[in-house]
Structure 1
Amino acid sequence: MSSTKYILGVFDDPDDMMHGIDKLQKNSVPIYDVYTPMPIHGIEAKLNIKDSRLGYAAFMFGCLGGTIMFSMVYYMLVHDWPINIGGKNFFAIPDFIPVTFEWTVLWTSFGMTFTFFFASHLFPGRAPRVMDLRATDDKFVIAINAKGSIPHDDITNLLKEAGATEVKHNDRKYVSYE
């Protein structure tokens, strides 16, 4: 049994990489992930990547922050310490709007920061997970899970035909910086 976990196809040109994705998909080779040093338009549709659900999380954090602040202001200014200012009603909603809005934005921003760190595993002090360090600089990498039923030589030949400058058989999931 081979100890290879991933087969990495390294490309110099994004067009060659896109051609490699087409070639692999045409031959029913499942792609684990693609690493690029810059955004490539249209790659999400080609890899069938679903839209992010972070917008729903932002909406929920905003609702939570707005509800908590509105409840706090209502409790403090109506029940706990009602003050009659200028003959206004104790429950004057227009007075509550500015502070409620600010807390909605504050909770959304903090909540999304923590959610992003949790979802992407980018906690402070943690080494990033990268298959090939050159993918952060100038190379384009297609990672294929080697535990599939397709022979490694066939995948290597497909990547070479698509224009890969290098094909690596990686025995570790990620490159360490140590």
Structure 2
Amino acid sequence: MSTKIIHALYTDDDVLLQAVKQVRDKHYHIDEIFTPFPVHGLEKAMGIADTRLAINAFLYGIVGLCVATAMMNYIMIEDWPQNIGGKPSFSYLENLPAFVPIMFELTVFFAAHLMVITFYMRSRLWPFKKAENPDVRTTDDHFLMEIDTHGADVEEATKFLYDTGAVEIKLIDKEAH
């Protein structure tokens, strides 16, 4: 049994937002939504949980702080102690005020760079990856809602989507998709 995927195209973000709420109320499964720009409130309307990227940013910052601390202790205290400006090199804590800017910069550096890598990995955006955009108009002025019918009545779902404000609907076999 081949299941169908419905691509419903909308031309207005407010209409799309209302349509997402209506589709979820009818218990149809929304696979993906393609938009030319971020639509405020769309993730809540789709029922997507809040992101945990902020927790990762904090942990990456802690890693950067630890690397900065270990690096400065090894370089400036243990391996090559120098008398710079009359400051003693006897312990890390005596020189801590001079190390604060370096600790801050490496904390930000690690958090920023590791967050970019995490975002690309989470979004599956690899180098040279082919675009997965089903309709090129979604990069300009259209919004596409991809709905998996799961064996539901396709004609009823199509009529319902036209009633929500869809301007165009395409039926696609899941195997061909």
Give TM-score scaled by structure 2 length: 0.86
2:8 touches 2:169 (CA, 8 Å); kept in 1? yes
Report deviation, 1:132: 2.1
Distance 1:32 1:2, change over 3 A: same
Aligned residues: 173
Query: Partner residue of 1:73?
Result: 72
For 1:22, the equivalent position in structure 2 comes to 21
Instruction: Answer whether contact 2:64 2:106 (CA < 8 A) is retained.
Output: yes
Structure 1 Cα separation of the partners of residues 121 and 176 of structure 2: 19
Structure 2 residue aligned with 1:129, among 123, 127, 132?
A: 132
Report deviation, 1:172. Answer: 5.4
Equivalences for 1:1-178 in 2 at 5 Å? 1-2=1-2, 4=4, 6-85=5-84, 86=86, 88-90=88-90, 91=92, 92-146=95-149, 148-171=150-173
Q: What one-letter code is carried by the residue in structure 2 that aligns with 1:25? A: R
Q: TM-score, normalised by structure 1?
A: 0.85
Structure 2 alignment gaps of length 5 or more: none
> Hey, what's the Cα distance between the residues in 1 that align with 2:113 and 2:176?
29
What residue ranges of structure 1 are gaps of 5+ in the alignment?
none
Instruction: Indicate the SS of the match to 1:153.
Output: helix
Q: Which amino acid aligns with 1:96?
A: F
Tell me how far apart the structure 1 counterparts of residues 21 and 60 of structure 2 sit (CA, whole Å): 39
Q: Distance between the aligned counterparts of 1:174 and 1:130, measured in 2?
A: 15
Secondary structure of 1:65's aligned partner? helix
